[in-house]
Amino acid sequence: MLDQLETAVSMGSALQSSQAQRMDALGSDLEILPKGDEWNRIEKYIRTSKAGNHQGSNVWKFKVKNIFKLRIPDERKRYETGGKKVGNVIEVFHGSASSNILSISKNGLIIPPVNAAHVCGRMFGNGVYGAINSTKSLNYSLGYWGGRGTQYNNAFLFVMDMAMGTPQNVTSSKYNGADKGYDSVWAKKGQSLYNDELITYNLNQVTIKYLVEMGQ
């Protein structure tokens, strides 16, 4: 909540300014991705990675409306100079409520404690959670698991690179995170999950590449 308020205050005075001044206040590089090979690749990844168990649900109807290239300078630098070297980079989705999008786009992701307001689950400890199924993350964007829901017909997905390094493969909850010697957790669907979840515990191992607007 404080992160959101801080972002709102810092951006507030720039809202009536020019587009360039608003972008300066954001502090991140954000530009629309024109339709072409990369736009088509991302759209296809989102469309074809929908989880079968979500078919027929509201989330299944959402389609890509716009894709924005996003570069958060400090976050990208941490990743390029540190976390990326862990290796085994996987492109994943991350969903969050629309009220969080501005703060994340300006400051990057955070790892809130498990008892923070509106934190859903955390079956695998305090970390950054990603998914290889777009509808899995989109359900978080729509507030499905938090019991909040949304009144809007659009939502947002982040597409990010996650350096998994040596992942610990698990099939049930692991509230303390990865064991010593592992760089991440790959929670496989089956015993406790309907869909895979990928978790890293170091923010340096993640960088956001795209912000995708989804709509019905």
Task: Please indicate whether residue 14 or residue 70 has the higher confidence score (pLDDT).
Answer: 70
Question: What angle is formed at CA 109 by the lines to CA 68 and CA 161, rounded to 5 degrees?
Answer: 60
Residue 16 included in any domain: no
Residue 156 included in any domain: yes
Residue 85 included in any domain: yes
The count of domains in the chain is 1
What's the whole-number mean pLDDT along residues 130-142? Answer: 96
Residue 15 included in any domain: no
C-alpha pair distances (Å), 32 with each of 6, 116, 150, 203: 25, 33, 25, 25
Answer whether residue 151 shows pLDDT above 80. Answer: no
Query: To the nearest whole number, what is the mean pLDDT of the chain?
Result: 86
CATH number at residue 117: 3.90.228.10
What's the whole-number mean pLDDT along residues 160-175? Answer: 96
Any idea which residue has 């759209």 for tokens? 43
C-alpha pair distances (Å), 169 with each of 107, 124, 198: 30, 11, 10
Report yes or no: 81 and 125 within 8 Å, Cβ to Cβ.
Answer: no
Provide the whole-model pTM: 0.85
Residue 182 included in any domain: yes
Answer whether residue 13 shows pLDDT above 80. Answer: no
Range of the domain at 114: 29-215
**187-213 pLDDT, tens digit each:** 999 877 999 999 999 999 999 999 999
Cα(160)–Cα(70) distance, rounded to whole angstroms? 10
Cα(172)–Cα(156) distance, rounded to whole angstroms? 28
